[in-house]
A = this chain, B = another copy of it.
Amino acid sequence: MKPVRVGICGLGTVGGGTFNVLTRNADEITRRAGRPIVIEQVAHRSLNPACDLTGIRTTNDVFEVASNPDVDVVVELIGGYDLARDLVLTAIENGKHVVTANKALIAVHGNEIFKAAHQKGVIVAFEAAVAGGIPVIKSLREGLGANRISWVAGIINGTGNYILTHMRDEGRAFEDVLAEAQALGYAESDPTFDVEGIDAAHKLTILASIAYGVPLQFDKAYTEGISRVTAEDVEQADNLGYIIKHLGISKRTDSGLELRVHPTLIPKERLLASVHGVKNAIAVMGDAVGPTLYYGAGAGAEPTASAVVADLLDVARDISTEHRYRTPYLAFGGITENGESLPIMPMEDIITAYYLRLLAVDRPGVLARVASILSEEGISIEALIQQEATEGELVPIILMTHRTQERNMNEAIRRIESLADIAGSVTRIRVESLDEE
């Protein structure tokens, strides 16, 4: 069969990895795809020393690739929002299939892109946009297609997990480990996207859309990063049998979908608690299959390329036929018509358990006042640790609560913080058992 001709736009980390994997594993890829997948053109701004471009047609204009009549599939690896959006929409308009690793693009502009692709009958594939090389999009969209998904919870930002792992293993502070991660190249010089949870929220938005069959709604995701997690919280969680992970969580409830990214205490015995360093893992609960988990490298040149090339394989297999969108982009057909029945819930409506840490003046009655506020807000206490201190000193109080609505907890925290004997603000970290609830 004739080859599938690929145009790679962007030759940075992921572009270079994709170029090299397609080249190195060409024989195996051809046997799997049933036809060769060849690099027809590469658009790049600067040279990638890892790539040998001998004999490859190159350009510095990505739009030249999008309009090249010899290109069947445009691989968008330039990143960012606006230029990437223009490139992808132009490629679609020209009847090209698109493969992208761009989570921001899909989370923010995906609905528009899929609509355009559907009209033109082309494939848009984005396995690499979530959790790098882990085939979690395919697993959710196809492998678990029999299931009504009840929740998805994932460690989907390697930088954040690297920092939390080292904070825990070495008892170090956030800022300290962040600086080290930056020096090692695991964190950007501006780490906001990673440590404030924006990157994870992009990925969670995509996972939720595929899991439940709802439109992409990044603007409704609740996003909280790890920059305020302290070494003390990490240690207290450990004492209580928990580990703090930065999770993206989406649950189906009777009131709609939860869509939230935040530091989370999870029991140490969960498999997710054993996912360390820059690795990613996603746990998925389906009504038929029960709990499943997918683990691997969430970033890096070749792990991400692995997912890009898997998408190219799917494209190669699909365009052997006239059927141009065999699997719905977002797993379900007719998402825009049917998706509205599952609204994304406001954060104050979600229900979860909580870890609280407060600093109190060690005077009789403080604990009673805190407990009575929680009780009045309908919140019951599961565990309490009050450390010893000299009379009059500030003493930390650690509380674990049972599940309650975030609205009640917000009010309780507001009232606790207004007590005269409580110093500063209350630290609140959500707790998820991740059992089969």
Contacts and interface: CB of A to CB of B under 8 A. Distances in A.
Contact of A25 (B141, B147, B314): B147
A320 interface: yes
Contacts of A349: none
A321 to B, nearest CB: 4
A334 interface: yes
Report the copy number of this chain in the oligomer. 2
A140 B291 CA distance: 20
Given A25-B287, A142-B138, A292 B295 contact: yes
A127 interface: yes
A125 B49 CA distance: 43
A175 to B, nearest CB: 28
A146 B305 contact: yes
A289 interface: yes
Contacts of A135: 138-139, 142-144, 292
Q: Identify the 6 closest CB pairs spanning chains A and B, nearest first.
A: A135-B143, A146-B309, A292-B296, A133-B289, A289-B306, A321-B323
Interface of A: 17, 21-22, 24-25, 28-29, 31-34, 127, 132-135, 138-139, 141-148, 213, 271, 274-275, 281, 286-297, 300, 302-303, 305-310, 312-314, 317-318, 320-323, 326-328, 331-334, 338
24 contacts: A28-B213, A29-B145, A29-B146, A31-B213, A132-B289, A133-B144, A133-B289, A135-B139, A138-B143, A146-B307, A146-B310, A147-B306, A271-B274, A288-B305, A289-B303, A290-B302, A290-B303, A291-B297, A292-B294, A293-B296, A294-B294, A317-B326, A317-B327, A318-B326
